[in-house]
Amino acid sequence: MKISKVLVVYYTRTGNTEKMARAIAEGIESAGAEAVLKSVYSVRNEDILEADAIIAGSPTQNKRVPSKMMAFINDMKDLELDGKTGAAFGSYGWSGEAVGILNDELEKIGIKLADKGLRIKRTPKDKDLDRCRALGKRVAEAAS
Ligand SMILES: Cc1cc2nc3c(=O)[nH]c(=O)nc-3n(C[C@H](O)[C@H](O)[C@H](O)COP(=O)(O)O)c2cc1C
């Protein structure tokens, strides 16, 4: 059977969302799938095209998703995304809108949500990282 490939792509400013991304990637691997972990600055079109599922993460900044991540989602809509699933995640400080916005944006470009997503306040603690691993595992299992 083909091993599913799950892309975890993130934007981070102070490292919290990146910590979540690393734990999500661990969860994906624990499900026997392949995790491809990329910053939004280094992700390539091939990473998107080759992925069965795409998990996108960003912190909330000024009640929004930072423009670099929004540009990434916008650029993705020109690619062939048929059949791909996805989910969103991100760290926040007080209001935490980014995950909800990412969910909507992913659905708008035709990615079917495999999970309601996960937001964690500030720096993820051990129990939060476990929730990140569980998210990665769930999405990977849904993609297989
Ligand atoms: C310029 C700026 C604006 C922010 N605006 C918000 C906001 O509107 N709502 C919120 O919940 N958190 C806000 N935060 C807090 C960040 O989301 C929080 O610090 C998060 O942990 C950062 O994640 P990162 O380490 O992945 O960059 C803001 C942080 C910065 C630096």
pLDDT tens per residue, range 64-104: 999 999 999 999 999 999 999 999 999 999 999 999 999 99
- Which residue has the CA at smallest separation from atom 29 of ligand 1? 61
Q: Which amino acid type is present at position 133?
A: R
pTM: 0.98
Pocket test for ligand 1, best of 40, 61, 94 (most atoms within 8 A of CB): 61
Please say whether the beta carbons of 14 and 91 come within 8 A. no
Span from the CA of 59 to the centroid of ligand 1 (angstroms): 6
Please say whether the beta carbons of 88 and 99 come within 8 A. yes
Structure-block tokens of residue 73? 């989602």
Average pLDDT over residues 28-52: 98
Predicted confidence at residue 144, as pLDDT, reads: 83
Predicted confidence at residue 125, as pLDDT, reads: 98
pLDDT-based confidence at 2, cuts 50/70/90?
Answer: confident
> Across-strand partners of 87?
55
Question: Which domain covers residue 34, as residue numbers?
Answer: 5-143
Could you give the number of structural domains in the chain?
A: 1
- Ligand 1 atom, smallest distance to 19 CA: 26
Q: Which amino acid type is present at position 123?
A: T
- Ligand 1 atom, smallest distance to 15 CA: 25
Residue 1 has pLDDT above 70, yes or no: no
For residue 95, the domain's CATH number is: 3.40.50.360
14 within ligand 1 shell (Cβ under 6 A) = yes
Average pLDDT over residues 119-129: 98
